[in-house]
Amino acid sequence: MPDLSHGADIDVAAVNSLRSAVMRLGRRLKHQRVDESLSPTEMSVLGTLARCGHATPGELARKEHVQPPSMTRIVALLEAKGLVRLEPHPDDRRQKVVSQTEQAESMLEESRRKRNAWLASLAEGLDDDDWAKLRAAAPVLEKLAHL
């Protein structure tokens, strides 16, 4: 694996192609939403809560790379839509803990089903060799997404 921090030779064209393809596919996936009234950021917050469980607004702001005041507004919007609930923090009365509601869980599950179906329909157009390569690349892409 190339060590980019030490200026090792890398295939710049391959990196560019990967970046471009991942961005285009990501944008297309974002359009496969169940609830068009939610912004991509609101959907991302719900996804973070689904993966990580409950969190304080400050923790969510860090995970979503937004400023705390922005997250406070996002949480308020999601709460007004019945998608999250705020509860007292068990150790710090000054804070609240945000968790998703059953409505949010159902919506996220439907969104996953829709996106998976869309992606599966694209994958049906691949030949067996390309499909095998894509399946093999999935864990590597997952790893990159969490570095």
Confidence of residue 3 (pLDDT cuts 50, 70, 90): low
Residue 46: predicted pLDDT: 94
> Domain range for residue 88?
37-116
The structural domain count of the chain equals 2
Are 45 and 110 members of one domain? yes
* Statement: residue 81 has pLDDT above 90: yes
Are 46 and 112 members of one domain? yes
Q: What CATH number did the domain enclosing 78 receive?
A: 1.10.10.10
Are 41 and 62 members of one domain? yes
Closest to 100 (Cα-Cα) out of 32, 145, 42: 42
* Statement: residue 138 has pLDDT above 70: yes
Q: Tokens 């969510």, residue?
A: 60
Helices 12-30 and 102-123: angle between axes, nearest 10 degrees: 130
Residue 1: predicted pLDDT: 47
**Residue 140 main-chain phi, psi, to 5 deg:** -70, -45
Are 56 and 102 members of one domain? yes
What's the mean pLDDT in 88-101?
Answer: 89
For residue 92, the 8-state DSSP code is: -
Please give the share of the chain, as a percent, with pLDDT higher than 70: 94
pLDDT, tens digit (0-9, with 9 covering 90-100), for 105-127: 999 999 899 999 999 999 999 99
Residue 90: predicted pLDDT: 84
**Any alpha helices (H) in the chain, and if so which ranges?**
12-30, 40-52, 57-64, 68-80, 102-123, 128-145
Are 24 and 89 members of one domain? no
User: In the structure encoding, which two tokens stand for residue 88, read together?
Assistant: 């007292």
Confidence of residue 140 (pLDDT cuts 50, 70, 90): very high
pLDDT, tens digit (0-9, with 9 covering 90-100), for 6-58: 455 678 888 999 999 999 998 888 888 777 788 888 989 999 999 988 999 99
Are 43 and 98 members of one domain? yes
Q: Tokens 């499909």, residue?
A: 131
Q: Tokens 């409505």, residue?
A: 103
Gap between the Cα atoms of 95 and 58, Å rounded: 9
* Statement: residue 68 has pLDDT above 90: yes
Whether this model's pTM surpasses 0.75? no
